[in-house]
Amino acid sequence: MIITQFVILGAALFALGVYGVLSRRNAVLVLLSVELMLAAVNINLVAFDAFVADRIAGGQIFALFIIAVAAAEVGIGLAIVLLIFRNRRSANVDELDLLKL
């Protein structure tokens, strides 16, 4: 089995996610980019699981965990974004500089 294409796909997806997190101003899109990064990790996990032919399929189990965690994270993240939008009429991350104070 050749693993290269999967790893490249994972890396590309991760890079795309990083780019999205750093460059997008909208908080929803930032969250989406985070999801992309998680997906890239999932691809890597599944690919290496297949590659080493793990008998208990540990990589796949971790991938399932990550999907569950990602769902929960999106739930909380979107709730936060919604509240920020309600309070400040904007969901742009570069306007959210309260940490500076």
- Residues at the site binding another protein, with contacts judged by CB under 8 A: 18, 21-23, 30, 93-94, 96-101
- Closest contact distance (angstroms) between CB of 29 and another protein is 12
Min CB(18)–another protein separation in Å: 6
In 16-48, which positions are buried (b, 16+ CB within 10 angstroms) versus exposed (e)?
A: ebeebbeebeebeebbbbbbbbbbbbbbbbbbb
CA-wise closest residue to 22 among 9, 33, 37: 33
For residue 20, the minimal CB distance to another protein (Å) is: 11
Which of 20/59 has CB closer to another protein? Answer: 20
